Chains A and B, each alone.
Chain A
Amino acid sequence: MSQYALYSFLDIPYKQVIIVEEILSVKNLKKYFVNGGFSRQKETVRAVDDISFSIKRGQTFVLAGESGSGKTTVSRLILRAIEPDSGEITFDGVKITNDASSLKKIRTKCQMIHQDPYASMDPRMKISDIIREPLDIHDIDKSSERENLVFQALRDVKLEPEEIASKYPHMLSGGQRQRVAIARSIITKPKMIIADEPVSMLDVSVRVGILELMKELQTKQDISFLYITHDLTTARYIGHVISILYLGKIVETGFISDVLFHPRHPYTQALMDSISEPDPDNLQKEKKIRINNPVEVNTYQGCRFRARCPYAIEKCKQEPELKPLSDRRSVACFVKID
Chain B
Amino acid sequence: MTTLAIEELNVQYQLRNKTIHAVDGVSFSLENNESLGIVGESACGKSTLGLAIIRSVPGRNIVKGDILLDGKSTLKISEDEFTKTIRWKKISMMFQGAMNSLDPVFSIKQQFEEILRTHDNIGNHLKMINDAMDSVGLSSTILDKFPHELSGGMKQRVIIAMALILQPCLIIADEPTTALDVLVQAQILSVFKKLKKEGLSIILISHDLGIISEIADKVGIMYAGKIVEFGTLHEIYSNPKHPYTQALLKSIPKIKGESDLISLKGTPPDLSNPFTGCRFYDRCPHAMEKCKKDPLKTKTETGYVSCWIYESNK
B237 interface residue, CB < 8 Å from A? yes
Q: Would you give the shortest CB distance from B68 to chain A, in whole angstroms? A: 26
The docked-state distance in angstroms from the alpha carbon of A119 to that of B186 is 28
Chain B, range 111-142, C-beta contacts under 8 Å to A: none
Q: Tell me the count of chain A residues lying within 8 A, CB to CB, of chain B.
A: 40
Neighbouring B residues of A206 by C-beta, 8 Å: 263-264
The residue that A66 contacts in the complex, of B181, B214, B264, with Cβ under 8 A, is: B181
Pick from B52-60, B168-176, B187-195 the stretch touching chain A: B187-195
B193 touches A237 (CB 8 A): no
Neighbouring B residues of A287 by C-beta, 8 Å: 186, 189-190, 193, 214
A203 touches B207 (CB 8 A): yes
Chain B, range 190-213, C-beta contacts under 8 Å to A: 190, 193, 207-213
A280 touches B254 (CB 8 A): no
B273 interface residue, CB < 8 Å from A? no
Pick from A11-19, A46-54, A70-78, A208-216 the stretch touching chain B: A208-216
A-B interface contact total, Cβ < 8 Å: 118
Neighbouring B residues of A298 by C-beta, 8 Å: none
Residue of A nearest to B43 (CB): A203
Residue of A nearest to B254 (CB): A277
B42 interface residue, CB < 8 Å from A? yes
Instruction: Kindly name the residue among B185, B207, B210, B262 whose own CB sees the greatest number of chain A CB atoms within 10 A.
Output: B210
Pick from A79-87, A122-130, A139-147, A267-275 the stretch touching chain B: A267-275
A98 interface residue, CB < 8 Å from B? no
Neighbouring B residues of A208 by C-beta, 8 Å: 251-253, 261-263
B165 interface residue, CB < 8 Å from A? no
Tell me whether chain A's interface is mostly helix, strand or loop, or mixed. Answer: helix
A231 touches B190 (CB 8 A): no
A276 touches B211 (CB 8 A): yes
Residue of A nearest to B177 (CB): A276
B255 touches A275 (CB 8 A): yes
Neighbouring B residues of A273 by C-beta, 8 Å: 186
Q: B residues touching A (Cβ–Cβ < 8 Å)?
A: 41-42, 181-183, 185-187, 189-190, 193, 207-217, 233-234, 237-238, 247-249, 251-255, 257, 259, 261-265, 267
